[in-house]
Structure 1
Amino acid sequence: MNKDYLLEVNNLQVTFKTNNTEVHAVRGVNFQLKEKETLAIVGESGSGKSVTAQSIIKLISEPPGKINNGSIFYKGEDLLTKPERYFSSIRGKEISMIFQDPMSSLNPTLKIGRQIAETIIRHEKVNKETAYKRTIELLKLVGIPNPEKRIDQYPYEFSGGMRQRVMIAIALSCNPKILIADEPTTALDVTIQAQIIELLNDLQQKLNMSTIIITHDLGVVANMAHRVVVMYGGKVAETGTVDEIFYQPKHPYTWGLLSSIPKLDSKEKKLIAIDGSPPNLANPPKGCPFAPRCPYAMKVCIEQSPGIVSSSDTQKTACWLLDEQAPITDTPETARIEG
């Protein structure tokens, strides 16, 4: 455990058993989170982003899920060695999570005020009156108007953006050290997405939290994160600062993600998609998981998993193209973003 990090995930491996099939959802993931830092975990659906995040606070249902290997250090202690009652005490208090769909995450039969206050009463050991005062303060903090009235309303009386703000209020109710936001803007229109991003940025600075953003949207990453973890096929393909990932990407999968971003100054009318489909993690490839879709793949990419190559103190990439014996391959024009 490195004392420079608030959270450190090492060689995390998670599987799910369904009937006679074992799905290797997360395969040796490593990353770190510093205090007051925003880390983005990026990748398409099925890359292992959400499973990795849920593993941090042991929200993986066992069975069918199982954390097979690895360590998750928080404040110097390995969370994976702790009993379930320990996680009940830190979920929401030390490490909190905003889930993807606010409508399905909120209880439709309970008033908003009660859903927020319950978390405060449970972890802060305060009376109902104090909890409701704190609830009104939280609703104000996340930008919900007339909170004194809103606490007595049900989730269906809130718009999608307002429900997401309620979810953020619940997650912040006990002043967590780490906030995990799983696709916090996915179901929202572009205008509301921008408001939620701005809100999370403001709250991160006001409350001095560390934040993990799970997303497939590189636009969210550009506006929020300090560092980025790019995942594919249950593995980490590349890590680096936002500037390194956007302006000096090294992995072909990162190139593909960047090439698919609409550019205002581009004359191309058609977006460039990544051909092919994600790997079947019930039978994961022995080589690089991106090799079947990679236009630069070599024989070794199919046969052997690449090692980690450091391009700087902060940028690390798992790709055979960075091997000294590989042919020189430059970042394609479509993936280049001018600084």
Structure 2
Amino acid sequence: MERLLEVKDLEVSFKTYAGEVKAVRGVSFHVDRGETVAVVGESGCGKSVTMQAIMRLIPMPPGVIKNGTIVFDGKDITKLSEKEMEHVRGSEISMVFQDPMTSLNPTMKVGAQIAEGLIKHQKMHPKQAREKAIEMLKMVGIPNAEKRVDQYPHEFSGGMRQRAMIAIALACNPKLLIADEPTTALDVTIQAQILDLMRDLQKKLNTAIIIITHNLGVVANLAERVLVMYAGKIIERGSLDDIFYNPRHPYTWGLLMSVPTPDLDKSKRLASIDGTPPDLFAPPVGCAFAARCEYAMKICYERYPEDFPVSDGHSAACWLLHPMAPKVKPPIGKGVTL
């Protein structure tokens, strides 16, 4: 497949009064045209900061992109001026933010917010942009779009606001859509509708999607490839089947075992990952997960592991995959029913 986005050795830090927070520490990955990539991990692992860096939305200061390249559709967007980047945001790369109520402008009608990008990027006449806004509201499944286009965000339900955010993001037919926890605040039935909508729109528009989530059910329903992040690094990457049926990093095992399943023994407690993530003011020299890992060896605390290949397209940064490491049988590996 043709490559749309390639991120290499990305490092993002935040300068604070207490010191430098190393939020993203050498992240590399790619996204092909029309594919869906999920980025999973617990809160604070660097998922959202990585995506905001791609959109060039990191506030500088206190944030700074210290190193790395972000090549989108053949151009390194880290070298673009802010004015040049304004032409990329919304028209070529769009983002659906986590909370639509705080992302939508409460003082503007929903239709005007959809039309805004069309007028700016596609130079549409306001009347034509309004018609396109109605069309987009219909496309994302909002009923009575001719009336809803003139309503304010507070007049929409949570699910409708999220649909409106997707309509805004897709109005200019971007090549890449970044969805940051798009279903977090929604109940399960609305979550399913939003995921179905994103899947259908992707097929219709051939838009590549990066979905940021900690919900493995969302991953199972939407993603083709998965990146597992921990403490500002990608620690495992592979296809959906690789991650769910043959995970090789202890952190990925912990994530999968913490998911409740239909056959869960109700007499046993749900598995959890003990401990807390490391302090990114002073990240550990070795594997950041070592302090929480029951399989940790001496070398795990002394050196960061290389990315060991497991199969084609599947790799994990774990010393257990070294040929000289003791053999450990994964506690999970037959997949998770979600």
TM-score category by the smaller chain?
Answer: over 0.9
Deviation for aligned residue 1:78:
1.1
Q: Displacement, 1:52?
A: 0.4
Indicate the residue corresponding to 1:58 in structure 2: 56
Equivalent residue of 2:12, what SS? strand
Q: For residue 158 of structure 1, what is the aligned residue in structure 2? A: 156
| Aligned pairs for 1:273-312 within 5 A | 273-312=272-311
What one-letter code is carried by the residue in structure 1 that aligns with 2:240? V
Q: What is aligned with 2:45? A: 47
The structural deviation recorded for 1:20 is 3.6
C-alpha deviation, 1:338, in angstroms: 6.7
In structure 1, the residue corresponding to 2:177 is in which secondary structure? strand
Q: How many residues align?
A: 336
Q: What is the CA–CA distance in structure 1 between the aligned matches of 2:252 and 2:140, rounded to whole Å?
A: 33
Give the corresponding residue for 1:271: 270
Q: Show the counterpart of 2:317.
A: 318
CA distance in 2, matches of 1:163, 1:39: 24
Structure 2 matches for 1:184-203, cutoff 5 A?
A: 184-203=182-201
CA distance in 2, matches of 1:20, 1:276: 23
Give the equivalent residue in structure 2 for 1:223.
Answer: 221
CA contact (8 A) 2:248 2:330 kept: yes
The percent of aligned pairs where both chains have the same amino acid is 60
Instruction: Quote the Cα distance in structure 1 between the aligned partners of 2:145 and 2:81.
Output: 38
Task: Determine which of 230, 233, 237 is the counterpart of 2:231.
Answer: 233
For 2:49 and 2:67, the matched residues in 1 are separated by 14
Question: 2-side partners of 1:338 and 1:204: how far apart?
Answer: 25
Corresponding position of 2:131: 133
Tell me the distance in 2 between the aligned counterparts of 1:109 and 1:94. 26
Task: Summarize deviations over 1:292-322 as a string: whole Å, max 9, x none.
Answer: 1111011110111000111112101100000
Letter in 1 for 2:74: G
AA aligned to 1:278 is: P
The corresponding residue for 1:331 is 330
TM-score scaled by length of structure 2: 0.97
Partner residue, 1:211 = 209
CA distance, structure 1, for counterparts of residue 259 and residue 329 of structure 2: 19
Secondary structure of 1:270's aligned partner: coil
The whole-number CA distance in structure 2 between the counterparts of 1:35 and 1:330 is 36
Summarize deviations over 1:112-145 as a string: whole Å, max 9, x none: 1111111110111010010000000000000000
Cross-structure match for 1:104: 102
Unmatched 5+ residue regions in structure 2? Answer: none
Runs of 4+ in 1 over 4 A off after TM superposition: none
Question: What is the alpha-carbon distance in structure 1 between the residues aligned to residue 231 and residue 57 of structure 2?
Answer: 21
Unaligned stretches of 5+ in structure 1? none
User: 1:336, CA displacement in angstroms?
Assistant: 3.8
CA RMSD of aligned residues (A): 1.2
Partner of residue 124, structure 1: 122
CA deviations on 1:91-128 (whole Å, 9 max, x unpaired) are 00000000000000011111111111111101110100
Offset at 1:77?
1.4
Tell me if structure 1 keeps the 8 A contact 2:256–2:336: no
Pair 196,63 (structure 1): closer, same or farther in 2 beyond 3 Å: same
Q: Secondary structure at the match of 2:311?
A: coil
Taking the aligned partners of 1:38 and 1:175, their CA distance within structure 2 comes to 16
Write the mapping of 1:11-90 to structure 2, written as runs, cut at 5 A.
11-90=9-88
Shift in Å, 1:82 = 1.3
1:287–1:75 CA distance, 2 compared to 1 (3 A): same
TM-score, normalised to structure 1, is 0.97
SS at match of 1:29: strand
After TM superposition, the structure 1 = structure 2 runs for residues 172-187 of structure 1, keeping only pairs within 5 Å, are: 172-187=170-185
**CA offsets 1:165-214 (integer angstroms, 9 cap, x no match):** 00000000100000000000001111111111111111111110100000
